[in-house]
Structure 1
Amino acid sequence: MNLPEQPTTFRAPLPAERPWWWRLENAAGEEVTVEGDLGSERFASQSDAESWVGEVFAELAAEGVDAVTLFELERRVYGPMSLHP
């Protein structure tokens, strides 16, 4: 039995629908993997991505993230940007 495709509200957004994302980095500039939502968030706009990192930067730092770099799909927009004062 073939089931219909899941409605849009139940499928994960495609990268083209949420092209903005942060690369999480350690002090050496190497990519850091963080468990849970902090490590996999994607955003529909640059302002959404920037607002999010402003809200969770302390949590990211506690997970070992020293800096972040903003990407739109595969294009580096800016960074690395330190999470430390």
Structure 2
Amino acid sequence: MVWTWRFEKADGAAVSPQDDGGSFASRGDAESWVGEFYGDLADQGVDQVTLMEDGQVVFGPMSLHA
């Protein structure tokens, strides 16, 4: 299983941040990474993220704003 994040504007349009985290071996690793870097992602224009497992949506979209 490969876990990745999809990065989007509020309207669902794709955004490519400087660091997308790559892929993760577990959901926990992916969630820890976004928890650490969500502020940086928001500063780069990412409004929401969606967690993907092997290309399938698992969770989200989740807003990066309060």
TM-score (norm 1): 0.73
Q: Which amino acid aligns with 2:10?
A: A
Relative contact order, CA 8 A, sep 6+: which one is greater?
A: 2
Runs of 4 or more off by more than 4 Å in structure 1?
none
Q: Which runs of 5+ in 1 are unaligned?
A: 1-15
Q: How big is each residue's C-alpha offset from its partner over 1:39-65, in whole Å with a ceiling of 9 and x where there is no partner? A: 252100000000000000000000000
Larger gyration radius, structure 1 or structure 2: 1
* In 2, Cα distance between equivalents of 1:78 and 1:31: 16
* In 1, Cα distance between equivalents of 2:48 and 2:8: 5
Residue 79 of structure 1 aligns to a residue in which SS?
strand
Q: Which runs of 5+ in 2 are unaligned?
A: none
Query: Which residues of 2 match residues 1-85 of structure 1 at below 5 A?
Result: 19-35=2-18, 38-85=19-66
Identity level (%):
52
TM-score (norm 2): 0.92
Q: How many residues align?
A: 66
Partner of 1:12: none
Across the aligned residues of Structure 1 and Structure 2, the Cα RMSD in angstroms comes to: 1.1
Which structure has greater strand proportion? 2
